[in-house]
Amino acid sequence: MNEMVNDILASCKEDLEKAYSHQQNEYLVIRAGRANPHILDKVMVEYYGVMTPIVQMGTVTVSEARILNINIWDQSQIKNVVKAISQADIGITPTDDGKTIRLVFPMLTEERRKEIVKSVKKICEETKVAMRNCRRDALDMLKDLKKDSALSEDEFAVAEKEVQKLIDKYTALADKEAVDKEQEVMKV
């Protein structure tokens, strides 16, 4: 295979990896009835005029299966952190005792579990759409090479199969990730 084809395949693989890793990151934030520090990843607090993630302001620990403790290093910022968590709409009301902020994750109802599974499936489908777009882009570039006579018909067919192998591999990974997350959410 020529160098241009290898570059297209490498670019396609990189884009697929990004889509898959985005799916994994989205799943980290989804609550499954257990304390998960990643739920705070997108929560930002105004800290001396700069929007700062909570994890850079203190330690976040799981003290029990459903309780998250947040110890803020700068005690004067506790009220701001509580306010930011409340405004982030993560579905959990923070409580603080002046030193530690606690997030108690409620048990999920069957109905809520089913809603979460729907969003897991939606994220998976969005990931697969992004992966199909990667395939389309790679095939378009390969067709352009073929049209410019930089690629023979046989080379194009081989490259097309390689792109499809990549797509199949990453969509299988995305599906497995979704199934695993669904099982985690539905487990009582």
- Assess whether pLDDT exceeds 70 at residue 20: yes
Report the distance separating Cα 124 and Cα 128, nearest Å: 6
- Assess whether pLDDT exceeds 80 at residue 34: no
CATH class given for the domain over 3-29+109-186: mainly alpha
Nearest to 40 by CA among 64, 24, 56: 56
User: So what's the pLDDT on residue 32?
Assistant: 66
Nearest to 4 by CA among 161, 159, 170: 159
What average pLDDT does the structure give for the chain?
88
Report the distance separating Cα 45 and Cα 43, nearest Å: 7
Report the distance separating Cα 76 and Cα 81, nearest Å: 10
Nearest to 125 by CA among 23, 39, 28: 23
| CB-CB neighbours of 20 under 10 Å | 19
Strands (E), the chain: 44-47, 50-53, 58-64, 67-72, 94-96, 100-104
Delimiting residues of CATH 3.30.1360.40 domain(s) in the chain: 37-104
Delimiting residues of CATH 1.10.132.20 domain(s) in the chain: 3-29+109-186
pTM of the model: 0.73
Fold exhibited by the domain 37-104: Gyrase A; domain 2 (3.30.1360)
